[in-house]
Chain A
Amino acid sequence: MIQVIGLHKALGDENVLCGIDLVVPEGGTLVVLGRSGSGKSVLLKHLVGLFQPDAGRVLVNGEDISGLKERQLGPIRKRVGILFQSGALFDSMSVGENLAFPLRESGMLDPELIQERVAEALGMVDLAGEEDKMPENLSGGMRKRVGLARTLVSRPACILYDEPTTGLDPIATDSINRLIRRLQKRLKSTSVVVTHDMKTAFHTADRIAFLHEGRIYFEGTVEELRASEDPILVNFIEGRSGESD
């Protein structure tokens, strides 16, 4: 379970998050929507302590992680996987080594077992057999999927996805959406999906939160969002800028 209570964060001279309250129940999936620059990635990074809140608290499985030291965060981070928006692959390592890294770090030593798990994770993102490629030789969408595989390979209890499907073709998008669904069902993982892709949102969400001007502007189920007549939400869902030609 993930809880965010009264989270405030300023970066530079900009108040990015001003009082966020969220709950993601055990095994549930929260989709966070919001326009580019609304602070979705910053919010997500708070959930693994990559940012420390200026005010407020973040609780992961009941444990307050705000104010923990880097070394104390280590064990918690091994249970929470985060997919970075950029993929954030280690560019000095091959795809296979990127995926083996989290396994080795959590103490898995048997090379055969590691190889097996790496192949399995690559299979899940439709990249079977690409172990030996270097990240620089991958397309943007492939990097994203390798990043996802690296997040999944250690089977974390909580998974945070930062725009898992942006930059992917429609077919890959659909297969990732289904993968996220499958993981929810099979592993009962607690997930937060940041996206501005409505298909991904509707496909994966138990609940949806809409981030706007540093606050949670809306929080509810998919049906509630669809039924809403609030112009800001409607424009976002239907992709209208409100400008005329």
Chain B
Amino acid sequence: MFHVIFHAFGGIILRLLRYVGQLAFLAMETFESIRVAPLRWRLLLNQVAEIGFRSQLVVVVTGAFTGAVFTAQTYFQFHRLGMDSAVGAVVAVSMFRELGPVLTALMLSGRVGASIAAEIGTMKVTEQIEALRALGVHPIDYLIVPRVLALLISTPLLVAECIGLGIGAGYLVATKVLGVSRAYYMTNMLSFTTGRDIKMALIKGMAFAALIGFIACEEGLKTANGAAGVGRAPTQAVVIASLVILISNFFLSFFLNIFFPAGSY
């Protein structure tokens, strides 16, 4: 009995380690490419438009409605304790430290991760990646670097947008709908949010961007088995990226809190 559990568990750990190894290898090849190969600016700009610019709607809606509803729920609890004016601070700090980066990353893994995996997966099974290689073009330079860099550039901006909209929507709900005093809301919010919160949001955004990029590209590149494989690649990419984002967020929060402790001092 113990033996069986040990065996199954060992298998999972081994698979996990192998996957981490594959991602690390892809990341190494990507950095190698950035170092030695000329950057393809046109492809990068295309990807920034595709990944960054066109993801705004999803991110804006997510940020605004989460900020609004989170503000309302916080108010309902805090109001009973007579702490109406603390709502703004709670919402802002939560948006910066957790909700903004995590929600943006989850939405991006659905919207961008899936399409990257599907596109690269299709190119893989239709021999287009081999065709690139045969023409002397490294697929990492041509496909992976522009996408990963575009994610690294766009995600922090999208996180900022998400946070801004969330806090803005929260402010409107609190002051216009729930009748919290505007001056107190703002004062408390500003005195409890610090530059450290902003840095934490941006660092998390970058970390999640890299995870989404490498996971989606890896799933695309290892696609096999024709149409069925192409169907599986985006699903895998989204599921794996989402889980990894949620789990790594937990550890990142604790780790980053050492360098950027919460609270106003």
Do the two chains belong together in a single complex? yes
A residues adjacent to B (C-beta < 8 A): 45, 48, 50, 70-71, 73-75, 77-78, 81-82, 84, 86, 88-91, 101-102, 105-106
Flag if B134 contacts A77 (CB, 8 Å). yes
Residues of chain B lying within 8 A (CB to CB) of residue A106: 136
Flag if A88 contacts B126 (CB, 8 Å). yes
Top 7 nearest A-B pairs by Cβ distance? A88-B131, A88-B127, A77-B136, A74-B136, A78-B136, A82-B134, A102-B135
Flag if B136 contacts A50 (CB, 8 Å). no
Q: Mark B111-135, 1 if CB is under 8 A from A, else 0.
A: 0000000000011001110110111
Residues of chain A lying within 8 A (CB to CB) of residue B136: 73-75, 77-78, 105-106
Flag if B130 contacts A90 (CB, 8 Å). no
Complex Cα distance A86/B130, Å? 11
Q: Could you list some 21 contacts between A and B, CB below 8 A? A: A45-B130, A50-B134, A70-B133, A70-B138, A71-B36, A71-B138, A73-B133, A73-B136, A74-B136, A74-B138, A77-B135, A78-B135, A78-B136, A82-B134, A88-B126, A88-B131, A90-B128, A91-B126, A101-B135, A105-B135, A105-B137
Residues of chain A lying within 8 A (CB to CB) of residue B134: 48, 50, 77, 81-82, 84
Flag if B131 contacts A90 (CB, 8 Å). yes
User: In the complex, what's the smallest C-beta–C-beta distance from B134 to chain A, in angstroms?
Assistant: 5
> Looking at chain B's contact residues, is the secondary structure mostly helix, strand, loop, or mixed?
helix
Flag if B138 contacts A91 (CB, 8 Å). no
Residues of chain A lying within 8 A (CB to CB) of residue B130: 45, 50, 84, 88
Residues of chain B lying within 8 A (CB to CB) of residue A91: 122, 126, 128
Residues of chain B lying within 8 A (CB to CB) of residue A101: 135
User: In the complex, what's the smallest C-beta–C-beta distance from B7 to chain A, in angstroms?
Assistant: 24
Residues of chain B lying within 8 A (CB to CB) of residue A48: 134
User: In the complex, what's the smallest C-beta–C-beta distance from A97 to chain B, in angstroms?
Assistant: 12
Residues of chain B lying within 8 A (CB to CB) of residue A70: 133, 138
Chain B interface size band reads 10 to 19
User: In the complex, what's the smallest C-beta–C-beta distance from B240 to chain A, in angstroms?
Assistant: 25
Residues of chain A lying within 8 A (CB to CB) of residue B128: 88-91
Complex Cα distance A89/B128, Å? 7
Flag if A50 contacts B126 (CB, 8 Å). no
User: In the complex, what's the smallest C-beta–C-beta distance from B34 to chain A, in angstroms?
Assistant: 13
Flag if A84 contacts B138 (CB, 8 Å). no
The residue on A at minimum CB distance from B132 is A90
Complex Cα distance A101/B133, Å? 12
Complex Cα distance A86/B133, Å? 15
Instruction: A50-B133, A77-B135, A84-B134 are known; give 17 further A-B pairs, CB within 8 A.
Output: A50-B130, A50-B134, A73-B136, A74-B137, A74-B138, A77-B134, A84-B131, A86-B126, A86-B127, A88-B128, A88-B130, A88-B131, A91-B122, A101-B135, A102-B135, A105-B136, A106-B136
User: In the complex, what's the smallest C-beta–C-beta distance from B257 to chain A, in angstroms?
Assistant: 41
Complex Cα distance A88/B131, Å? 6
Complex Cα distance A81/B122, Å? 23
Residues of chain B lying within 8 A (CB to CB) of residue A102: 135
Residues of chain B lying within 8 A (CB to CB) of residue A90: 123, 128, 131
Complex Cα distance A217/B127, Å? 29
Residues of chain B lying within 8 A (CB to CB) of residue A75: 136
Q: Mark B19-42, 1 if CB is under 8 A from A, else 0.
A: 000000000000000001000000
The residue on A at minimum CB distance from B139 is A70
Residues of chain B lying within 8 A (CB to CB) of residue A81: 134
Known: A70-B133, A74-B136, A77-B133. A84 touches B127 (CB 8 A): yes
The residue on A at minimum CB distance from B125 is A86
Complex Cα distance A76/B131, Å? 14
Complex Cα distance A102/B126, Å? 18
The residue on A at minimum CB distance from B141 is A71
Complex Cα distance A207/B138, Å? 34
Residues of chain A lying within 8 A (CB to CB) of residue B36: 71
The residue on B at minimum CB distance from A93 is B128
Complex Cα distance A120/B88, Å? 68
Complex Cα distance A73/B133, Å? 9
Complex Cα distance A70/B140, Å? 10
The residue on A at minimum CB distance from B135 is A102
Complex Cα distance A101/B136, Å? 11
Residues of chain A lying within 8 A (CB to CB) of residue B131: 84, 88-90
User: In the complex, what's the smallest C-beta–C-beta distance from A70 to chain B, in angstroms?
Assistant: 6
The residue on A at minimum CB distance from B134 is A82
Complex Cα distance A101/B137, Å? 10
Complex Cα distance A45/B133, Å? 11
